[in-house]
Amino acid sequence: APVASVDADLRRRAAAVIPGGMYGHQAAKHLWPGAPQFIASGEGAVVRDVDGREYIDLLCSYGPIVLGHRHPEVEAAAREQAMLGDCFNLPGPRMVELAERLTGIVDYADWAMFQKNGTDATTLALTVARAHTGRKGVLMATGAYHGAAPWCTPIPLGTTPGARADLYNYRYNDIASVEAALAACGDDLAAIIVSPFRHDAGLPQELVEPEFARYLRALCDEKGAMLVLDEVRCGMRLGFGSSWAGIGVAPDLSAWSKALGNGHPIAALMGIDVLRPAIEKIFTTGSFWFSSVAMAASLATLDVMAREGSVARMHTLGQVLWDGLLAQAAKYGVDCSLTGHVTMPYLCFPGESDWAKTDVFAAACAKAGVFTHPRHNWFISAALSDAQMAQILEATGEGFAAVAAIGD
Ligand code: PMP
């Protein structure tokens, strides 16, 4: 008799009614060979696939989950709001409360506007910067991911060259390349968009060099252009507030999403007072941008994070994982590269171009009950217990053993 697999059945049905069987970053083809395509449930640091296999979650839904799945306090706040209603003719009080809360947490921000996805916020940031400056040019880092809109999708098929006509590329942390991009842009500079550190998919990550961040700030000041920080992935993980607060560089605009609502759909654009008149002249909105449930969830998420010091907990857990991974790589004699921030590490095996080792590593972790990603940075959540961290390190040990076994 055939082995019953709910996942296989869902895949078969999806192939009939969903293009490609699945699309976007959550298509299972991006994961390890044999990975599931569907998850049935999650609680705390654990997710369960549709066939009942459990994994300790080191991917955290690609960033949104900071406090663990179905965090009781966040879900209670969302339920309480849902009892009153979510989507009305007009916004509710939660919107004002959340804008007050966020501008209190993000020190340079004078105002906040809400959307649903990170792409909404990064795209609106450029619209606001262009409306304010009356210029078109935007400098962005080669290979940086700012979303899937026509101006920034990594695969431009189906978009027009016009969508990127006023974009100029620089290399992250490379001042000379910014100068070259600026020369190409001329007097037309509206904004420079940059992420808190370099986290391009499938490549080793790179923390920002403080002098690079300060140079971008000074350049924008000199040219009257807007510095836009894309906090969508890093926000509320590197710090509770601006990811660049520690290096003393404040942007003019910042785009946020993922961690803000612990899985509830919310994004935010935050910025400085001088931009208000331009924002009053543009038109931007969305049917679900004013919905209250995600805002209530976000308020609760931020309350729990502030009260419990979740960022510090994620830093501690991330450091344990980081140190453990490096010790295991040394023990097994495997050449491994670990880059980025401890709360969002990226692991790869230098010199390999076919992902064979990363696939073997991730598959071994999955077999040992840990959900990682072979080609994307992982994410720590504050829900991980010390015992679960020990289980994770047992699994990654299996991963390194499997990689050592295939040799070079
Ligand atoms: N910017 C960054 C840095 C991101 O990591 C992402 C999502 N991975 C986005 C923007 C786009 O966010 P979304 O997928 O929610 O539109």
Please tell me the residue having the least CA distance from ligand 1 atom 12.
118
Among residues 154, 150, 192, which one has the least CA distance to residue 172? Answer: 192
Residue 65's pLDDT is what?
A: 98
Mutation probe of ligand 1 site: the residue of 198, 232, 346, 377 with most atoms within 8 A of C-beta = 232
Q: Looking at ligand 1, which atom is closest to the CA of residue 117?
A: 15
Distance 23 CA to ligand 1 centre (A): 16
145/260 same-domain check? yes
Distance of alpha carbon 81 from alpha carbon 58, whole angstroms: 29
Tell me if 81 is assigned to some domain.
Answer: no
pLDDT digits (tens, 9 = 90+) for 224-240: 999 999 999 999 999 99
Question: Hey, what amino acid is at 180?
Answer: A
Q: Looking at ligand 1, which atom is closest to the CA of residue 62?
A: 8
Residue 82's pLDDT is what?
A: 98
Q: In terms of C-beta density within 10 A (0-12 exposed, 13-18 middle, 19 or more buried), how is residue 186 classed?
A: exposed
User: Which residues approach ligand 1 with their CB closer than 6 A?
Assistant: 62, 117-119, 122, 145-147, 195, 230, 232-233, 257
Alpha-carbon distances, residue 24 vs 83, 153, 159 (angstroms):
33, 11, 16
12/125 same-domain check? no
317/400 same-domain check? yes
Distance 119 CA to ligand 1 centre (A): 6
142/219 same-domain check? yes
Q: Looking at ligand 1, which atom is closest to the CA of residue 234?
A: 3
Ranges of residues in the chain with a pLDDT under 70 are 1-3
Distance 115 CA to ligand 1 centre (A): 13
Residue 408's pLDDT is what?
A: 77
Distance of alpha carbon 364 from alpha carbon 58, whole angstroms: 14
Residue 407's pLDDT is what?
A: 81
Distance 64 CA to ligand 1 centre (A): 10
Tell me if 302 is assigned to some domain.
Answer: no
Distance of alpha carbon 178 from alpha carbon 119, whole angstroms: 23
Residue 2's pLDDT is what?
A: 59
279/336 same-domain check? no
223/366 same-domain check? no
Distance of alpha carbon 139 from alpha carbon 313, whole angstroms: 35
Residue 16's pLDDT is what?
A: 98
Q: Looking at ligand 1, which atom is closest to the CA of residue 116?
A: 15
What is the CATH number for 158? 3.40.640.10
Distance 145 CA to ligand 1 centre (A): 7
206/349 same-domain check? no
116/64 same-domain check? no
Tell me if 91 is assigned to some domain.
Answer: yes
Tokens of 139: 């400098």
Q: Looking at ligand 1, which atom is closest to the CA of residue 144?
A: 3
Distance 6 CA to ligand 1 centre (A): 30
Mutation probe of ligand 1 site: the residue of 146, 197, 234 with most atoms within 8 A of C-beta = 146
Q: Residue 382 is part of which domain span?
A: 6-69+309-406
Among residues 348, 336, 335, which one has the least CA distance to residue 378? Answer: 348
pLDDT digits (tens, 9 = 90+) for 90-113: 999 999 999 999 999 999 999 999
Mutation probe of ligand 1 site: the residue of 199, 233, 253 with most atoms within 8 A of C-beta = 233
Tell me if 259 is assigned to some domain.
Answer: yes
Question: Hey, what amino acid is at 348?
Answer: C
Q: Which residues contact 343 (CB under 8 A, 6 or more apart)?
A: 237, 238, 311, 314, 315, 318, 379, 380
Distance 122 CA to ligand 1 centre (A): 8
264/394 same-domain check? no
Distance 407 CA to ligand 1 centre (A): 35
Q: In terms of C-beta density within 10 A (0-12 exposed, 13-18 middle, 19 or more buried), how is residue 183 classed?
A: exposed
Number of domains within the chain: 2
196/168 same-domain check? yes
The last residue of one of the domains, among 261, 290, 319, is: 290
Rg of the chain over all Cα atoms, to the nearest angstrom: 22
Tell me if 100 is assigned to some domain.
Answer: yes
pLDDT digits (tens, 9 = 90+) for 346-372: 999 999 989 999 999 999 999 999 999
Unique residue bearing structure tokens 């804008």: 99
Tell me if 174 is assigned to some domain.
Answer: yes
**What beta strand segments (E) does 299-383 contain?**
337-341, 344-348, 370-371
Please tell me the residue having the least CA distance from ligand 1 atom 5.
233
The 54-57 sheet, strands edge to edge = 39-43, 46-49, 54-57, 370-371
Residue 1's pLDDT is what?
A: 55
Distance 361 CA to ligand 1 centre (A): 26
112/175 same-domain check? yes
345/371 same-domain check? yes
Residue 48's pLDDT is what?
A: 98
Residues in the chain: 408
